[in-house]
Structure 1
Amino acid sequence: MSRPPEFITLSDAAARAVAGPGSRHAALIEDAFKVLLETPGGGVSISGDSRARSLAKRAIAALAAQADAGAEVAEADVRVAVGQARSGEPGPVAPGAARRGPVSPKTATQAQYMDMLGRHELVFGLGPAGTGKTFLAVAHGAGMLMRGEIDRLIVTRPAVEAGEKLGFLPGDLTEKVDPYMAPVWEALTQIVGTEQLRRRRDKGEIEVAPIAFMRGRTLSHAFIIVDEAQNTSRLQMKMVLTRMGEGSRMAVTGDPSQIDLLNAADSGLAHAVAILEGVEGVAVTRFSAADVVRHPMVQRIVKAYDEDAAKRGR
């Protein structure tokens, strides 16, 4: 005999978030757990076996908490909530609970990462593309800058892409650098807005530059982000890590599985983590495919590559 539907009372905002535009969010939950959702008003009705309903309720509760906290619920949030319901991980952190910048973490690992950024002088964020490791670091640094806790936000990355070098690009320094820095500029624009970014860049409060231009500098009262750090050499990594001056903090992000150097063994990221993990003031966060919050296909791609690497023993 089939069980009667279970009704969960929700606020109007939460009910709309669970349903989603064109009931898209509800359809994702239905497909994930093989349940039937209906939103008759005042909440959501769930039909299905007891385990399926229990998992669906976890995902719905996480999304409802996010909506009730005033945060927008996007399709990526639904997929994260579904994944966390299946794994038993804590749900997304509501804005304000562990927030340290203009955005909030969407997974437990992201929340841990944001907490570490607030408590440690040097934080390594390691993991695949789409896990938010760079975006969250930029958001944290931008928040510190806007609150007056630092004087400058500096983002640097090696200008190494499939063996290309800056010298092969046309134009002046800015024109040479910008193609490599485009992802950083996009993140900054999304976080602080085009006009404020322009003003702060003109005043020297926000700087984006290749690692080569960090040499010889002491970066005081700054938040420094070293992006794509897997493409730094050991010497470059040591150089940039020792740029920290008084009142500065640093985040180093990268994916050790995506090294573009001619000799992968030259990468300074894994070496730095190996010798610095456990040192006072240093923290390491390791992201996985479960933390990917881009298109769901990205998560499946990352998982497939991880499984292949495990089979090969590397």
Structure 2
Amino acid sequence: MEKNATTANSTPHQDVTKEDEDTRRTGRPGSLAGRIALVAGATRGAGRALAVELGRAGATVYVTGRTTREHTSEVGRPTETIEQTAEAVTAAGGTGVAVRTDHLDQGQVGALVERIDREQGRLDVLVNDLWGGEHLLVGSVFGKKSWETPLADGLRILELGVRSHVVTAALALPLLIRSSAPLLVEVTDGTAAFNRRYRDNLYYDLAKNAPIRIAFGLGQELAEYGGTAVAVTPGYLRSEQMLDHFGVTEETWRDAVARDPHFGVAESPYYLARSVAALAADPDRAARWNGRSTSSAELAEVYGVRDVDGSRPDGLGYMADVVYGGKPGTPDDYR
């Protein structure tokens, strides 16, 4: 797939073994050695996994969020902290640096970028995984018309899911473009194709489509710098919050299928994270992905990635074909 390709940290014209090639293709240890990454919104879920997998591939990863061991955000999950994420990054083989940051506060984001500049001199990978609005959805948003949704909750969703992304990109991009091959990853819910259907509520629909357009627009701007901007989405994400919702653990998650048969196609946060780490290690990523939206399943197919259980689930495909499309099929057909 990448015959005779070299990375920024390899020696030109060296012999490339099959093992070397596989390492670069799948984002395995060492493929991102020397790279500097920022995962904005890395407290839990996909953000934490993304930080860990970038670290496993050798990167130095700055991890941000609002919940620390001393402070809990409005999400209200005090046992999940950015310090834990940073420690997990380091344990995986990278270097994790936790920086408490509210990405709606321009001063805090500016200070974060200045710190990365001071300590590293550049930024190679920016992952915008900012959200934290799940607590506003059930009861307040889902199942309600826009005019029935409390306006304060709707606007907060746009703050958390759109404004935070714009603020972070605006302040971090001048540092990111110093990289020889800058990469911006916008994490959202749904691809452009999947999100042609209405996403349940106006505010949620706007919040989850905006990152797709951000990646498209910034892809145009980053192209002259050899950069890549891509929007990525998991399928049915088996996050900590979702596991808690069903009263199961990562080890017993299939017990939840009795309550929700669709959960049978669920994927761990590491499925998306492994796929993005492979994308980050791909020297041809700009030609393949710039300006596009894609899913964990599509990336996994391209890069030969599998989830922690060895499967390759396609949650969006299952939802589009079976749940919304009426085609026959089961979750196991899409694993």
Give the TM-score band, short-chain normalised.
0.3 to 0.5
Larger radius of gyration: 1
Q: Structure 2 length normalisation: TM-score?
A: 0.37
